Amino acid sequence: MQAADRLIALSIIGMSLYFMSDAVALPIGWNGETGGPGGGAFPFWLSLIMALAAGGVLVRSFLQDRTQQAFFDHVTLRSVIAVTVAVAVTIALMPYAGSYIAIPLFMFWYLKIYGRHGWVLTGILTLSTPVFLFFFFEVTLKILLPKGWTEPLFIPLYATFF
C-alpha cells in the first residue's frame, strides 16, 4: 500500500509541477487591467495546493505503520469507479451540452441516484449550482465556461451583464 501511495503522490507532484510551469506563461497575479486574476492564477495556485497535498501523502507514507490493512475494499472500490465514470461522462458532455447542463446532471446523479438524498436538497443544489457558477465565473471573473448547444440561450444574459 505504501508503494502505491508513494507512486501516486510522486505522479501528482510531477503533474502539478508541469501544470505550474505551463501556468506561469500567463500572469498568475492580480490583473489590474481586467480587474481580476490573471489567466494562469487558478491553474498555478491550484496546482501548488495539489503538489503540497501530494507531498503530505508522500511524507505520511514514510511515517505510516507497514502492517496497515488495504485502503480500499471491494465496496469502496466500486464506489470510486462509479463516481470516476460519472465525472468522466460529465467532462465528455461539456463540449456538447455545456457546463450548465453537464454539471447539474452530475449533481442530480450524485445526490439523488447515487447518494439517495431527498428531493429538496437535490433540487436546491442542482438548480443553484449553475446559477452560482455563471455569476462567479462569467460575471465576476469574466471566465467563460463551455456552453455547447446552449450558447444562444446566454445571449440575453450577456447583454444584461456585459
The amino acid sitting at 63 is: L
Q: What is the average pLDDT score of the chain? A: 90
* Residue range 82-112, pLDDT digits in tens: 999 999 999 999 999 999 999 999 999 999 9
Helix (H) or strand (E) holding 31: strand 30-31
pTM of the entire predicted model: 0.66
Question: Span 144-155, mean pLDDT?
Answer: 92
Residue by residue, what is the 3-state secondary structure of 6-23?
A: HHHHHHHHHHHHHHHHHH
Q: How many other C-beta atoms can be found within 10 angstroms of the C-beta atom of residue 61? A: 18
